[in-house]
Structures are given as structure tokens and as C-alpha cells.
């Protein structure tokens, strides 16, 4: 889609750029339209390291999924999964356990369509599933996820909400939504998440550029809402936090970091502006 865009799937809003498609462009994907690329190019001009930050977020997802797979989790529910690109949950988990299963959920039609095509192309559509839905409705998402037959509630599940909660507004009961999902998970399940944070923002040399990026997103169809470390930590209430707890992305199990992008910012982990954590349900 670098020179000419095909006809958009039904339900796709091409009047404003979309976060899932912008992120895809940051990572070098092709599931984006001209309006998303224009947004991305402007974002790079404002904050030249934004592609690196996006890659660091993707790296964290991979490390988290590998950790879970190595600790016996072989089924995943990925909410706000986005447009499929290199290192999808089912691909990473399969490196550890070829029988791992995953249900992907996103509200962006392009993300859902591309995910379905990917699973069919890989010949694994019978073991994984893709749903279009709003993660703010746990009861609906949970029911439909179970209806796919992919997840077994008699065994632990890895719930993944990475790089998406900051698109939920301040007026939305984010903690309550997460607690509802956690209440539905079987004992021994895990919750993996990350979030853009306000921590240390004022002290950063490029604070003005970062604020400009937030303002740019706020003019798109997917505005950003940064949260403090304290607020993000409450999302894990009732869970046993896995070491090293709530930290910046490059600080989470750095011994497993292989990516050049993450190594590049390892000496200044706060630079990425994202915090993360993994919790286990007793």
C-alpha cells in the first residue's frame, strides 16, 4: 500500500487516521492507508524516535508471551491486538509450545480482516480465532471468545492488553473493566499489560515534542490518555505481581532483550514513556 490504496473493508473510517494502522506503519507494515501514513510521517518529524518506541513496545509483548508460554500458559486472549505484524502472539507462543492457542480481539475492521487472512494463510485458523469487538464490554467479549471453542476455562489463560489502555478516556471505568476480566479468568491465569505514563514527562528534554505527539493523536480518531504509575498499578489489584513489578518496558526481564531497538534505549528506560507489568491470579 505504499503507492496506491485498495478499497477499504466495510466499516473502515478513512476520514481520520487510526491508531492500529498508524502503529502498523511505524513497524513497517502495509495494512495502512494514506491518511495513516501522513499522520505517521508528521509524528516522525515531531518525535524522530517514535518508530523505535513502537518497536520497543512490540519487543515487550514478545518477551511477555515467551515468559507465559515457558510457565505453562498455552492459551491467550489478546485484547486490542491491532494489525498483525511480525511477532504476533500465536507465533511467539508457538516457538515455545506449537499447540498454543489465541483469540485476538480488536475494534478496527482492518486489523480484524488482516488477522483473519494471516491465520488462514498460515493454515492455523482452526486453532486460533479473531473477533471484532470493544474490549470495554467484558461480558460480550468473554462470551464470544468462549464461543469460538479456542479457550478452555478449566485451565489458566494469558490475558493480554498491551499498548491499548491509553486509548480509553479518563471518564471511562478502566480499572472496573479490567477487574471484570480478571474475575472471569481461571485461577493461575496471568494479566500482561503496558501503558503510556506521565511519570517523568516534565523532566524529559523532549517533553515538548512528546506533548505535541499527544496533541496530534488527540486530533485523530484515537486520542491518547496517559496515566501515572500509581494508577496503572491499581489495574493489577488482587494479582501477584511477577518480578520486577511495574517498570519501564526495557527494565522488564532485560536479560531476554535481543532487539537492537530495545538495547538502544536500555540505558535510559524512561525514554520510551511506557510502563508495564505482569500479574498472576491466585
211-259: per-residue pLDDT in tens?
Answer: 888 888 888 778 889 999 999 999 999 999 999 999 999 999 999 888 8
Take residue 178 and report the three cell numbers written for it: 479490567
Say which residues have a Cβ less than 8 Å from residue 35's Cβ, sequence separation at least 6.
Answer: 14, 15, 16, 17
What phi and psi values does residue 211 have, to the nearest 5 degrees? Answer: -65, -35
- Quick check: 153 and 186 in contact, CB under 8 A? yes
pLDDT tens track for 55-66: 999 999 999 999
- pLDDT tens digits, 175-220: 999 999 999 999 999 999 999 998 876 656 577 888 888 888 888 7
Residue 55 in contact with residue 262, Cβ under 8 Å? Answer: yes
| pTM recorded for the entire structure | 0.90
Contacts of 21 (CB under 8 A, 6+ apart): 31, 32, 33, 36, 83, 108, 110, 111
Rounded Cα gap, residues 43 and 213, in angstroms: 6
Q: What are 176's three cell numbers?
A: 472496573
Distance CA 7, CA 110 (A): 11
What local confidence, expressed as pLDDT, does residue 152 receive? Answer: 98
Give whole-number Cα distances, 125 to 31, 132, 170, 203, in Å: 20, 15, 36, 47
Amino acid at each position: 500500500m505504499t503507492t496506491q490504496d485498495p478499497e477499504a473493508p466495510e466499516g473502515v473510517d478513512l476520514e481520520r487516521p487510526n491508531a492500529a494502522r498508524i502503529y502498523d506503519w511505524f513497524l513497517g507494515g502495509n495494512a495502512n492507508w494514506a491518511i495513516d501514513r501522513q499522520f505517521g510521517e508528521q509524528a516522525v518529524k515531531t518525535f524522530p524516535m517514535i518508530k523505535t518506541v513502537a518497536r520497543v513496545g512490540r519487543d515487550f509483548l514478545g518477551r511477555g508471551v515467551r515468559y507465559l508460554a515457558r510457565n505453562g500458559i498455552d492459551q491467550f486472549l489478546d485484547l486490542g491486538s491491532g494489525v498483525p505484524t511480525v511477532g504476533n502472539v500465536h507465533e511467539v507462543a508457538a516457538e515455545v509450545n506449537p499447540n498454543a492457542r489465541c483469540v485476538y480481539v480488536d475494534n478496527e475492521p482492518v486489523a480484524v480482516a488482516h488477522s483473519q487472512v494471516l491465520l488462514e494463510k498460515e493454515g492455523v485458523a482452526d486453532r486460533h480465532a479473531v473477533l471484532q469487538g470493544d474490549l470495554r464490554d467484558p461480558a460480550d467479549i468473554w462470551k464470544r471468545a468462549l464461543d469460538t471453542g479456542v479457550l478452555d476455562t478449566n485451565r489458566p489463560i494469558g490475558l493480554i492488553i498491551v499498548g491499548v489502555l491509553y486509548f480509553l478516556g479518563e471518564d471511562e471505568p478502566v480499572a472496573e473493566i479490567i477487574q471484570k476480566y480478571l474475575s472471569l479468568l481461571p485461577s493461575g491465569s496471568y494479566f500482561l499489560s503496558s501503558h503510556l505514563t506521565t511519570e517523568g514527562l516534565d523532566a524529559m528534554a523532549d517533553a515538548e515534542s512528546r506533548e505535541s505527539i499527544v496533541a496530534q493523536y488527540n486530533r485523530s480518531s484515537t486520542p491518547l490518555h496517559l496515566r501515572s504509575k500509581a494508577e496503572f498499578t491499581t489495574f493489577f489489584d488482587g494479582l501477584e505481581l511477577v518480578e520486577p513489578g511495574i517498570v519501564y518496558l526495557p527494565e522488564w526481564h532485560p536479560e531476554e532483550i535481543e532487539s537492537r531497538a530495545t538495547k538502544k534505549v536500555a540505558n535510559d528506560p524512561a525514554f520510551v514513556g511506557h510502563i508495564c507489568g505482569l500479574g498472576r491470579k491466585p
